[in-house]
Amino acid sequence: MRSSNFLPYNKMADYTEVSNQSWFSRIGGALKGIVLGAILIAIAFFLLFWNEGRAVKRHKALQEGSSKVMEVTSEALDKSNEGKLIHLTGRAETDEKLSDPVFGVGATALKLERDVEIYQWQESVSSKQEKKLGGGTKTTKSYSYALEWSDAPVDSSKFKVLEGHANGKEMLYTSERWQAEKVKLGAFLLSPSLVAKINDTSPVDVGEGKMLPQDLQQSVKVVSGGFYIGADPANSKVGDLRVSFKSVKPLEVSLVSVQKGQSFVPYKTANGSEVELLQTGSHSAEQMFEKAEADNVALAWMLRGGGFLLMMIGFNMVFKVASVLADVIPFVGGIVGAGTGIIAFLLAACLSLVTIAIAWVFYRPVLGVTLLVVAAGLIVLVIKKVNAGRASADVPPPLA
């Protein structure tokens, strides 16, 4: 059974909620957590195995692309290169002037971006839990409220304390993006998907705001190179808006893609992957493939870490019931919790390695077998840790 008391900590900014949960209620929650923990462990297995296949598939695709790419100049279109994977460097440029139809801001650019921020209440929550004799817990939650700028509206109806912290439901204007339809790269045209990959933006100063439509000139102010919608920029109120602009100006880019007519399409590899690389600045094909491979390795390690953490959380949830049962005497529960935490870490580590190793056996047997040996060592360590814990529990206390 769970009870709570809601106490004002500060009339305008901070509030505190104190709740109590019984030992039996905690046991019920821990038993439910076993099911969720098992699901998280299963998801972790799938993620780790899938990630290794994805990484190897991408590695092979990049190797294939690197072996077939050919160097061309962007200044001339050679029809004999139709359907071939090419590398070229040149200036991406356009004659199109992109314009914001609401605020009238325009620029000759590959992209134009309008960023809108709203001033509103934000809720932050901190929590502290204390164990009580008998296995129950006391949880203290502190709710703090502050006015901040953000790029999306916050639903204040979900706040713990709505009074004095209400936000508007909608933003009068939202962020928007415009992209040039015809972007040249020497004698070639970049496809919309390639233009979308160019994200080197620079601020667009709105000047004195002379481009503003007549109906906005009274309600919109020019502040710090952008627009401000509100009564007083020096004293912001809930619902005030800040509007700024960025653009992607013509710049040099390097590209690896398949020539198709005057434009480009991704390269289809033998394993069904796609290769299409774009970087700003001047880079050789070798440098671009090295960067793509480094990105692939970094993503693989991020997903490995994510799979390991997911698995460790799952095992902690599975073992949680043991520490809750021991929490009848709080310090005993703490000892049990620390022990199960270590076991969860070791199990997650060894089973993550086993999963990765099995996946690598499919793709790179030498590395896969090496990982299996390391994982076996970790499993032995876990068994020793469990046996040591049992042995210490069986030793009778010394006589006085």
Instruction: Answer yes or no: is 12 within a domain.
Output: no
In a domain, 64, yes or no: no
Helix and strand numbers, DSSP H then E, in the chain: 5, 20
Strand partners, 161: none
Are residues 86 and 215 both part of a single domain? yes
Domain end marker among 283, 309, 342: 283
Residue 250: the pLDDT is 96
More confident residue, 248 or 138: 248
Q: Is 290 part of any domain? A: no
Tell me, yes or no, whether 375 lies in a domain. Answer: yes
What's the confidence (pLDDT) of residue 217? Answer: 84
Considering the domain architecture, whether residues 100 and 46 belong to the same structural domain is answered as no
Among 260, 283, 306, the domain boundary falls at: 283
**Has residue 308 been placed in a domain?**
yes
In this predicted structure, the answer to whether residue 149 has a pLDDT above a threshold of 70 is yes
Looking at the structure, tell me whether residues 339 and 227 fall in a common domain: no
Q: Does 178 score more than 90 pLDDT?
A: yes
- Within this chain, do residues 352 and 382 fall inside the same structural domain, yes or no? yes
Burial 344-357 (b: 16+ CB within 10 A, else e): bbbbbbbbbbbbbb
Query: Is 169 in the same domain as 203?
Result: yes
Domain membership flag for residue 141? no
Identify whether residues 47 and 116 lie together within a single domain: no
pLDDT tier for residue 200 given thresholds of 50, 70 and 90: very high
Do 279 and 304 belong to one domain? no
Question: What pLDDT, on a 0 to 100 scale, did the predictor assign at position 371?
Answer: 65
Domain total of the chain? 2
On the question of pLDDT at 375 being above 70, the answer is no
| Residue 126 maps to a domain | no
Of 207 and 66, the one with more pLDDT: 66
pLDDT digits (tens, 9 = 90+) for 350-366: 889 888 877 877 766 66
Residue 196 falls in which region: left (phi positive, over 0), alpha (psi -120 to 50) or beta: alpha
Question: Each residue of 150-163: pLDDT tens digit?
Answer: 999 999 999 988 88
- Cβ-based burial of 232 (10 A; exposed 0-12, middle 13-18, buried ≥19): exposed
- Domain closes at, from 252, 283, 314: 283
Whether residues 115 and 37 share a domain: the answer is: no
Q: Is 87 inside a domain boundary?
A: yes
Average pLDDT over residues 206-218: 86
Pairing of strands 85-93, 70-71: parallel
Instruction: Clarify whether residues 44 and 111 are in a common domain.
Output: no
Average pLDDT, the chain: 87
SS3 of 63-118: the string is HHHHHHCEECCCCCCCHHHCCCEEEEEEEEECCCEEECCCCCCEEECCEEEEEEEE
Say which range, 178-182, 238-242, 346-350, has the weakest mean pLDDT.
346-350
Examine the domain organization and report whether 185 and 225 are in the same domain.
yes
Beta-carbon neighbour count of residue 221 at 10 Å? 15
Which residue range is the domain that position 96 belongs to?
A: 70-121+146-283
86 & 229 share domain: yes
pTM (two decimals): 0.79
Q: Are residues 257 and 360 in the same domain?
A: no
pLDDT of residue 391: 59
